[in-house]
Structure 1
Amino acid sequence: MHDKVRISFLAGATILAGLSTTRCNSAPETNNVVQNGSVETIQQDGDLIVLTLEGPTTFSATREGAIGYEADLVQKFADDLGVTPRFIQMDSIDEMLDAMDEGRAHLAAANLTMTETRQDDLAFGPAYRNVAESVVCHQGGPAPKTLDQLTGVNLEVLAGSSYVETLEDAATNHPELTWETETAGSALPMLRDVAEQRLDCTVADSHLAEYARRLYPDLIIPMSLTETRPMGWVYNSNISGMDQALAGWFMEAHASGYLEELDEHWFGHLDEFDYVEVLRFVERIEERLPRYRTYFEAAAEEKPFDWILLAAQAYQESHWDENAVSPTGVRGLMMLTRPTAREVGIEDRLDPAQSVDGGARYLQRLYNRLPEAIDGSDRLWFALAAYNVGMGHVYDARTLARRQGLDPNNWETMERMLPLLTRPKYYGSVKHGYARGYEPVRYVERIRDYYNMLRANVPV
């Protein structure tokens, strides 16, 4: 049996994004100065001390470990060094950067934009992602498209952030531009205040702004304050060899496609936004989900996935309508066919408890039937695709991948191969023939989206 996997947010983004196996270990107190030493010293000691901030696109500590884009990136770097990352969650950007200036950690990883001011005072590793700074407002309030229009709005931004630097620069030519600051781990609290109309506008990195629109569909992004700018880790310059280690590792991470894969994993679907659909989903979280939550929780016990995944899948299947019936005869919360219901021992497909239990057991069977070589988040995406289109077509897509010299165990490969099953040239050459191959790809994408929105909106 494979270990239970946890889907990250921002699989997306959709993130829904995917699964994380990063660890969150206890760390030294932040008032301790790390030994200067070298990268070799860190490898001998076995611990990489990393400062970070809590945020949906950065890092979150859970009982099962650390999850987040930065957590995964740090974990990969630490794995390649042969050490264990020890995350220290700080309360603010200023606190974190002050701690780095005082040598209290080896790295700071928290979606930090590489501004000229910061680079004058801190040592940055290579850039690994580019983001713009977006102005985010409520659709029922001001929607400034220029700096002149931004003056006079009730604007609050994250203290210590690059947004403050940007606004200070803008204020030299627009002296009427004013703003307040708030101390937090990310811009999400301010985004929530805008969504609830306690603020007119705030500023957030473009990927966080797009993520927030999935939580709060009334948010709009009327303008950008900057062009895209790079993000990087801050490193302790007293650690001999750290600059070379980071330069070499990020060069390989770029060349191998790892950074591109990680971006897709966390942020790949954030540009797909349907206001009406997201608004309806958020409303149904309050109106419908409470009736079925206990069924999802019970069905997820001893399964390799959590109850939120089942809830997300059920929403994709039926929109949490226990009486749902399709023209093809599938029915219930998990839209089971009659043969599948018999296979898992379900008598009444319209009974919500039976439907959820049956759907969960069927998904687990598919998950367990997959080859051992398919692991991590990919294994869950494969199982969900098989739930939608059938295991035979999934195996056909793997056959097409092998013929093209691609990795048949990689979900991104399947996203390319499954749609080929709509074309005679390809489906005529495999065992199970034609399939609507675009459907399982979209099915998995939507479940990832719903999962991430649930994670952000529902206490677990």
Structure 2
Amino acid sequence: MLTLICRHFLARASAYYALTAITLLVMVPTLCLVPPGEHLTHISAKDFITVHTRNTPTTYYEGRHGPTGFEYELMHRFADYLGVSLNLDATHHPESVLPAVRENGDLGAAALPLLPSTPGVHYTRPIIQMQPLVVYRRGLHGIQAPSDLVGLELGTLSKAGTSEALRDLQRRHPTLSWKESHELEVAELLARVEDGTLDAAVIFEHQFRLNRLFFPNVERGFTLGDPLSMVWALPSGRGLGLLEAANRFLQDLQESGMLDRLFSRYFGHDDYLEYVGTRTFLGHLDARLPRYTELFQQSAQETGFDWKLLAAVGYQESHWDPDAVSPTGVRGLMMLTNPTASDMGIADRTDPAQSIDGGARYLRSVKDRLPESITGDDRLFMAMAAYNVGLGHLYDARKIAEKRGGNPDSWADVRAALPCYKNVNGTAKHVTATPVAASR
């Protein structure tokens, strides 16, 4: 039986898998053979590029504003770079991506590891480095070294690249064994560790970051082997024009710093709650949030925010406690100061309806006051940061980021420059901590 944690995750993650086997543009991929050397010309002529990918939270999924995901961002930007439309063919099954690329696709982008001797495909330059990581069920003791995995019920995903690290380890520990799944996704594998079906699993570190909140009984263990390069795959035998274009695009993305910013946007929220904090959050999710859901939804309609984002800010500020108060006098569910409450026309900060209304309108006003040069998610994240630490501190952090050679309009660069402002009790208040990150 799935645990409460897994049920929460599966309910939230269902949208990720809704688009399986559906393309973004309704068109039939070409099945004709493309003469060698003319692949890039052929793509320009048909005015779209067909990319085979996977419908997973770490790659491509349906977000609150439409398709999103780390590799989706890269694919979309590459299509724009070529001046063509993006045609996605999404699947759950990793083993089907490379055959599809070899048969009739233009590109494969599905968190593919760079593996030796893959017939029929060319690989691009590395995009990111993916570090294999051992995770294990809380309560198991002594999981500190590779030799400790011998005798455990151990699992990993087929075709992900993590099995290569296990095979290397098996040469030193011949009795090591594990199960490779062709059907499960990362979240389902972690669910099996969570409920005790597996003792441990090997996934990639950035995958654990993204899923950690939903599995509080799964502990981070240790890294295993060397990092693997994530790459794109292109069919061989059709010339090198598209490969060269992809490599130029990825190099430009890396040199501009955009690649790091995109990675940080999707996987950089690593200040996750630990075991006790996660349990507390999930308990409040059931016991407290339902009382205020309609209020968050009403304020969201009036201010244009996602109601779950407002709820996440409320949790970050007060754990959805309308009577919360700080030693400095900040009070209420949305933790408004007296001047802010006065500016927003709020008479009673401890009244949940007034507090949520005032907090949502204040967040809206902060977002509207930011410089026009800050756009997209960067603008939203900086608005939440300013809500938490104040506009003055945010502007100071932007100046620091610029002095360091960073981009003051990039949340990834500003976040690195933003000090960890603490309240009198010494508790760090970061607006990008887990509840806010989870609302994405």
Bin the TM-score by the shorter chain.
0.7 to 0.9
Aligned residue type for 2:74: L
Counterpart for residue 156 of structure 1: 155
Shift of 1:321: 0.7
Aligned residue type for 1:361: R
- SS at the partner of 1:112? strand
Shift of 1:202: 1.7
1:322-401 to structure 2, matched below 5 A, reads 322-395=322-395
Q: Is the 8 A contact 1:385 1:444 kept in 2?
A: no
Q: Is the 8 A contact 1:363 1:387 kept in 2?
A: yes
Aligned residue type for 1:355: S
C-alpha distance in 2 between matches for 1:401 and 1:221: 31
C-alpha distance in 2 between matches for 1:362 and 1:42: 48
Larger relative contact order, structure 1 or 2 (CA cutoff 8 Å, min sep 6):
1
Seen in structure 2, the aligned counterparts of structure 1 residues 289 and 34 have a Cα distance that, compared at 3 Å, is farther
Q: Is the 8 A contact 2:421 2:429 kept in 1?
A: no
Shift of 1:341: 2.3
C-alpha distance in 2 between matches for 1:412 and 1:180: 37
1:299-318 to structure 2, matched below 5 A, reads 299-318=299-318
- SS at the partner of 1:329? coil
Seen in structure 2, the aligned counterparts of structure 1 residues 177 and 392 have a Cα distance that, compared at 3 Å, is closer
Aligned residue type for 1:99: A
CA-to-aligned-CA distance 1:46-83 (integer Å, 9 cap, x gap): 32211111222221124632211111121222222222
Shift of 1:88: 1.7
Shift of 1:371: 2.4
CA-to-aligned-CA distance 1:5-29 (integer Å, 9 cap, x gap): xxxxxxxxxxxxxxxxxxx823546
Aligned residue type for 1:183: H
Seen in structure 2, the aligned counterparts of structure 1 residues 279 and 203 have a Cα distance that, compared at 3 Å, is same
Q: Is the 8 A contact 2:97 2:110 kept in 1?
A: no
- SS at the partner of 2:312? helix
Q: Which moved more, 1:336-345 or 1:408-417?
A: 408-417
Aligned residue type for 2:235: N
Shift of 1:165: 4.1
1:203-242 to structure 2, matched below 5 A, reads 203-240=202-239, 241-242=241-242
Give the TM-score normalised by structure 2: 0.82
C-alpha distance in 2 between matches for 1:405 and 1:164: 39
Seen in structure 2, the aligned counterparts of structure 1 residues 34 and 231 have a Cα distance that, compared at 3 Å, is farther
Shift of 1:394: 4.0
How big is the alpha-carbon RMSD for the aligned residues of Structure 1 and Structure 2?
Answer: 3.0
**Pair 1:136-2:130 in alignment:** no
- SS at the partner of 1:252? helix
- SS at the partner of 1:109? strand
Seen in structure 2, the aligned counterparts of structure 1 residues 275 and 165 have a Cα distance that, compared at 3 Å, is same
Work out the percentage of aligned pairs sharing the same amino acid: 36
Q: Is the 8 A contact 1:378 1:410 kept in 2?
A: yes
Counterpart for residue 101 of structure 1: 102
C-alpha distance in 1 between matches for 2:28 and 2:270: 36
Number of matched pairs:
411
Shift of 1:438: 7.5
CA-to-aligned-CA distance 1:213-255 (integer Å, 9 cap, x gap): 3321221233433211211011233544111111211222222
Shift of 1:169: 5.1
Counterpart for residue 451 of structure 1: 436
Seen in structure 2, the aligned counterparts of structure 1 residues 248 and 438 have a Cα distance that, compared at 3 Å, is farther
Q: Is the 8 A contact 2:137 2:200 kept in 1?
A: yes
CA-to-aligned-CA distance 1:305-332 (integer Å, 9 cap, x gap): 3122111111111111111112222211
Q: Is the 8 A contact 2:322 2:352 kept in 1?
A: yes
Aligned residue type for 2:115: T
- SS at the partner of 2:122? coil
Aligned residue type for 1:453: A
1:217-296 to structure 2, matched below 5 A, reads 217-240=216-239, 241-270=241-270, 274-296=274-296
Counterpart for residue 180 of structure 1: 179
User: Gapped runs of 5+ residues in structure 1?
Assistant: 1-23, 420-435, 456-460
Counterpart for residue 5 of structure 2: none
- SS at the partner of 2:331? coil
CA-to-aligned-CA distance 1:231-289 (integer Å, 9 cap, x gap): 10112335441111112112222222222222222222427663433332233223322
Counterpart for residue 16 of structure 2: none
Seen in structure 2, the aligned counterparts of structure 1 residues 350 and 416 have a Cα distance that, compared at 3 Å, is same
Shift of 1:402: 6.8
C-alpha distance in 2 between matches for 1:362 and 1:170: 54
Shift of 1:147: 5.0
- SS at the partner of 1:251? helix
Aligned residue type for 2:286: E
- SS at the partner of 2:110? coil
Shift of 1:198: 2.2
Seen in structure 2, the aligned counterparts of structure 1 residues 380 and 453 have a Cα distance that, compared at 3 Å, is closer
C-alpha distance in 1 between matches for 2:298 and 2:428: 24
Counterpart for residue 80 of structure 2: 79
C-alpha distance in 2 between matches for 1:410 and 1:63: 21
- SS at the partner of 1:136? strand
- SS at the partner of 2:50? strand
Q: Is the 8 A contact 1:143 1:222 kept in 2?
A: no
